[in-house]
Amino acid sequence: MAIEFTREVQRASFYSPLEDFEHVDAEVEVREDPLTGRQSRIAPGSFLAPDSYDIEEVVGDSEGCFFCPDSVEEVTPTYDDFVGEDRGSEGEATSFPNLNPYGAYSNVVALTEDHFRPIDEFEPAIFEDGIRLALRYVAAVRDHDERARFASVNMNFLRPAGSSIVHPHLQTLVDDRATNHQRTLLEASREYHDEHDSSYWADLRGREEDGERHVADTGDVRWLAPFAPKHHRHLVGVAGEHGFPDPEGDLPADLGAGLVPVLQSYAAAGLNSFNVALYLADDPTMPPVLDIVARSVFDEYYWSDSPFFTVLHDEGVVDVAPETYAAEAREQF
C-alpha cells in the first residue's frame, strides 16, 4: 500500500502578552493530502464559535418560501420531458429543476416539509429520500445524454454555507465535465490506480480501518476524518462500490445513516451550518465520495470562515486536528 501521511510541525516564536511577555512557541502542523498533495494547516484558534446564538427570527419566518409544501407545486419549475415526471417525490422530499441552474442539468431537492430543521433534528430517512431523488435525476439525465459522465449532489445549509434559502435542500449537477475539485480527485485516483494497480479509495478504507481517524461505518460507507482536512470538521464518507450508484440501491440509506450523527457531532461542538458535496463519476477508479464540512456559526454578526487562505490560496486551515474531532464524531454513532 502506497498511502503516505506526511506532516511537519512548524514553530512560531514570540514574546506573548498572554504570558507576561515570556518567550513562547506556537505550533502549526502542516499536512499533505495523501492523494492530491493538497496542503492543510492545523492552526489552533483559527476557527472561533460564539458561546450561543439566536437565529429564530431568520429561520422561523417561512413566508414566501418556495420550498414549503403549500407553495412548492405552485412556484417551482417542472422537469423537461426526458425526465418523465413533472417533479420527483419520495417521503417528504420533492425534486424539480433549478430555476438558477449551474449547467445543462441542474436540480433542487427540497428535503423536508418543515421550513427549518436545526442540524441535530434530521432523521436518516430525510437524507435517504432526498439523495434517492437526486440519484434518480442523475440516472434520468444519463439515460438522456451519454456525455453526462459526472455528477454531484450538494448542500448549502444556512447563510454562512452560501444558502439564501433556510429550507433544507440539496442541489444536483450532472455534467459532461467534472468541477475543478472533481477533476483533481479523478486524475489523482486514475494515476494512483495506474501506479499501484489498486483503488486509492479502497486502500484508504483499509489503511484507516483501525485508525484514530476512522469514525464509523454505515452499511457500505466508511466515515473518516481526512488526514489533511479541506475545511473545519471535514469528514468524508467513502463508498465501497466504485462507479455510479444505483438510485434504488443502498447508498442513499447508508449516507443518511451517517450524515445524521455527523451533524449531531457538529451541533455538539456548537456549530449550526455546513456544506456537503457527493462526487459521482463514471469511472472504475472512484467510488461515490461525500465531503461534509462545518461552516461559521450562523448568528446575527457571524463572520466568514473563508479568508484569503480558503478563497485565494485553496489551502485548508483548521483549528481542531482530525484525530480529535473524529473521536468526538464517533461518539454520536
Residues that bind Zn ion (CB under 5 A): 62, 65, 67-68, 115, 167
Strand ranges in the chain using DSSP code E only, listed in sequence order: 6-16, 22-32, 39-42, 88-90, 93-97, 105-110, 150-157, 169-175, 214-218, 221-224, 235-239, 274-281, 289-294, 316-318
- Min separation Cβ 287 and Zn ion, Å: 33
The rounded distance, in Å, linking the Cα atoms of 62 and 167 is 8
Q: Which is nearer to Zn ion, 66 or 309 (CB)?
A: 66
Q: Which is nearer to Zn ion, 71 or 304 (CB)?
A: 71
- Min separation Cβ 63 and Zn ion, Å: 9
Q: Which is nearer to Zn ion, 68 or 267 (CB)?
A: 68
- Min separation Cβ 89 and Zn ion, Å: 16
- Min separation Cβ 169 and Zn ion, Å: 9
Q: Which is nearer to Zn ion, 67 or 157 (CB)?
A: 67
Q: Which is nearer to Zn ion, 169 or 231 (CB)?
A: 169
The rounded distance, in Å, linking the Cα atoms of 138 and 143 is 9
Q: Which is nearer to Zn ion, 57 or 197 (CB)?
A: 57
Query: Are 164 and 277 spatial neighbours (Cβ–Cβ below 8 Å)?
Result: no
The rounded distance, in Å, linking the Cα atoms of 281 and 179 is 11
Helix, coil or strand: residue 231: coil
Q: Which residue is nearest to Zn ion (CB)?
A: 65
Q: Which three cell numbers stand for residue 229?
A: 482536512
Rounded to 5°, angle at Cα 142 from 288 and 181: 40
The rounded distance, in Å, linking the Cα atoms of 38 and 32 is 6
- Min separation Cβ 67 and Zn ion, Å: 5
The rounded distance, in Å, linking the Cα atoms of 309 and 321 is 18
- Min separation Cβ 165 and Zn ion, Å: 7
